[in-house]
Amino acid sequence: MSSIADNIESVTRRIQKATEAAGRPENCVTLLAVSKTRPADDVRQASAVGQRAFGENYLNEALTKIEALSDLSDLEWHFIGPIQSNKTRQIADHFHWVHTVDREKIARRLSDQRSPQHPPLNICLQVNIDKEPTKAGCSADQAVILARQVAELPRLRLRGLMAIPDPDQTEDELRHSFRRLRQLLDDIRQALPSMAGLDTLSMGMSADLELAIQEGATCVRVGTALFGPRRPK
């Protein structure tokens, strides 16, 4: 059985090859290790070989893990799950990034509850790029409006967009979804020319990271290829 260190090396090679094949600059894509449902020891093993960014979906599980790993002060925690209003304070307190902001109410609560002692919270807007009725995210039509609202909030730093395209699509359809998210980020940059730091496209997972990188991903969220099949919550 491959170790976590071996898996990280393998995925890193995949990212490097895809980046080179796409003619993009070296090290322009961040590997976000999706550690949801994984024990703190798995995160510790990954950190031992240089992995720093970890994504969590479930707040209570994440808080336990963050506390258990508090000795690793250089870890970067990304919240990538659905956000309930009663969870925003703890998310604002304990995370460096949030990828799943899809409405103004949540953004405003995160800003209001982010301590001035912390740097602004990095935010990606989640877009329901394929208009799936059961999936979270704002519509593409709403994204520019929401971006304007988030950009005005003092304790947030708008960084870009996140999407989870329909996994049942063909490769061509999936590529089109990634491409539409990239174009939407370009649209937001044009609408908000004074906003610095709109540099993030969080898209692509274990099975499709190469395709996402070809279409401009700057952050790929990988769990299964690093830690093995997902364990029950």
List the CATH number of the domain containing 122: 3.20.20.10
What 8-state DSSP symbol labels residue 218? S
Mean pLDDT across 204-232 = 93
Count of structural domains within the chain: 1
In a domain, 232, yes or no: no
In a domain, 165, yes or no: yes
Q: How far apart are CA 21 and CA 14, in angstroms?
A: 10
pLDDT at residue 232 greater than cutoff 90: no
In a domain, 233, yes or no: no
pTM of the model: 0.96
% the chain with pLDDT above 90: 93
Residue whose tokens read 């508090």 = 70
In a domain, 146, yes or no: yes
Question: Domain range spanning residue 52?
Answer: 4-227
In a domain, 34, yes or no: yes
pLDDT at residue 107 greater than cutoff 90: yes
Burial 20-35, CB ≥16 within 10 A → b, else e: eebebeeeebbbbbbb
Beta bridge partner(s), residue 78 = 55, 97
Higher pLDDT, 1 or 49: 49
Question: Residue 233's pLDDT is what?
Answer: 52
Mean pLDDT across 126-132 = 95
C-alpha distances out from residue 188 to 24, 80, 147, 151, 211, Å: 22, 21, 7, 11, 23
pLDDT at residue 117 greater than cutoff 60: yes
